[in-house]
Amino acid sequence: MRLRIKEWTLNLSSKDNIVIPYKYIAETLLTKRGEDIPDIIILNEYVPQNNSCKKLKKLFEDKGYSSFYQGENTINQTIMLVREELKPSQVNEPVKIDPLKGEIFNIWPYIVHVQIALKGTIYNVIGCRIRIGQTINYWKETISDKLKQEIEQKNREEAKARKQQFDIILNYISSLKLENIIMVGDFNNYRDNTPVADWNLNVIDQAIQGKLIRETPKDSGSWSACYNAEEKSIFTSKLGWKSQSVYYFRLDHLFISPEMSPMIRDKSYDWEFALQEITNESPNCVLDKNNNIQIKQGFPDHAIFAVTIETE
C-alpha cells in the first residue's frame, strides 16, 4: 500500500477571525489531476474557533476523513485528517508541558499523534509545528550597529526557544519508545547563511543524531514572502536569498525512522497552485506595483508538502 501524505500551512493567525477559502483549500488538496486523494492531510495554523476552519473540517469529514487536534481553543494549531478506512486512533494528550518562558516568548510546539495499523504493523504519524515568537528582521532598514546587535541577541533567544520546542518533540518520541515514525510538519528553521544560525538544518540534524532521518526536497523552497511574476522559476529551481525583499526557505520536513527511509517513494514541494497565470483577479494572489506576487491573507503561503511512502 502507498501511504500519501500532504501537509500545508494555512497562513492564519489566531488573532484574526478572517474568512479563509475553505472550498478552494479542500479542492486544491483533493483534486490534483492524475493523483489519488491523500490518505493523511496535516494542516498547520488551523484555528478551531474560526468559522471558516470549522467549515473546512466538516467538509473533510463529509468526504470520509476523521479529524484530530489538541482541544477547542483559540490558538492556531495543527490538525490531522485521516481517511476513516485506515481506522486511525489518536494518542491522547501527547504533550503535557509548561510554556517555555523567556523575555520575548511564551511558546510551545504543537503535536498531533495518530496511530494507524496496516497489515498488522502500527505506524506512528505525527503532525507538528514549531511555533515562532518575535523574530525581528532588519535587512530592509538602515539601522545602527548597536541596534543590530540588540536585534540579533533577541533573535538568538527566539532561535533557542525553537530548538527547545524541537527537543520537547524528540523527548516525547523517546519517552514512548515509538517505532515506525512518520513525522511531517512546519519547523520554522532559519537558513544557514542568516545572521542567526542557532536554529537551522545543521542544528536539526545534530539534534536527531541518527534516531530519525530528515528528508527534505532540495529543488525548491517551501515558503516565500513574495516572488516576481516574471521569475516563476524561483519556486522550482532556486534556493537562498534572491534579494533583500524576496526570500524563501525550506521549512517543511519529513522525519522518519531510519529503517523506513527506503520506503519513501516521493517527497516534493508542490507550488502548482501558485504558478497559474496571475492577475489581480486570481483567487489566491495579487500583483503589487512592482509586479511582485503577494499571497492574500488567509490563503496558504507555503508550498504543499507531498510525501508518498510504500508500506508494503
The CATH code of domain 2-224+250-278+300-310 reads: 3.60.10.10
- The strand pairing partners of 121, in sequence order, are 118
What is the structure's pLDDT at 244? Answer: 36
- Secondary structure of residue 220 in the 3-state scheme: coil
What is the structure's pLDDT at 234? Answer: 42
User: DSSP code of 184?
Assistant: E
Residue 1: what residue type?
M
Of the candidates 21, 24, 68, the residue with the CA atom closest to the CA atom of residue 42: 68
- pTM of this structure: 0.85
| Cell reading at 290 | 512592482
Q: What are the tens digits of pLDDT across the range 218-259?
A: 877 787 645 555 554 444 333 333 333 344 678 999 999 999
Low-confidence ranges of the chain (pLDDT < 50): 94, 96-105, 139-140, 225, 232-247
CB < 8 Å & 24+ apart, contacts of 105-109: 105/133, 105/134, 105/157, 105/158, 105/161, 106/133, 107/131, 107/132, 107/133, 107/161, 107/165, 108/165, 108/168, 109/165, 109/166, 109/168, 109/169
What is the structure's pLDDT at 95? Answer: 52
What is the structure's pLDDT at 41? Answer: 98
Where along the chain do its domains lie? 2-224+250-278+300-310
What is the structure's pLDDT at 198? Answer: 76
- List Cα–Cα distances, 222 to 117, 161, 189, 193, in angstroms: 30, 22, 11, 17
What is the structure's pLDDT at 200? Answer: 85
Nearest-angstrom CA–CA distance, 27 and 41: 13
Q: What are the tens digits of pLDDT across the range 125-165?
A: 999 998 876 555 554 456 677 877 877 787 788 888 888 88
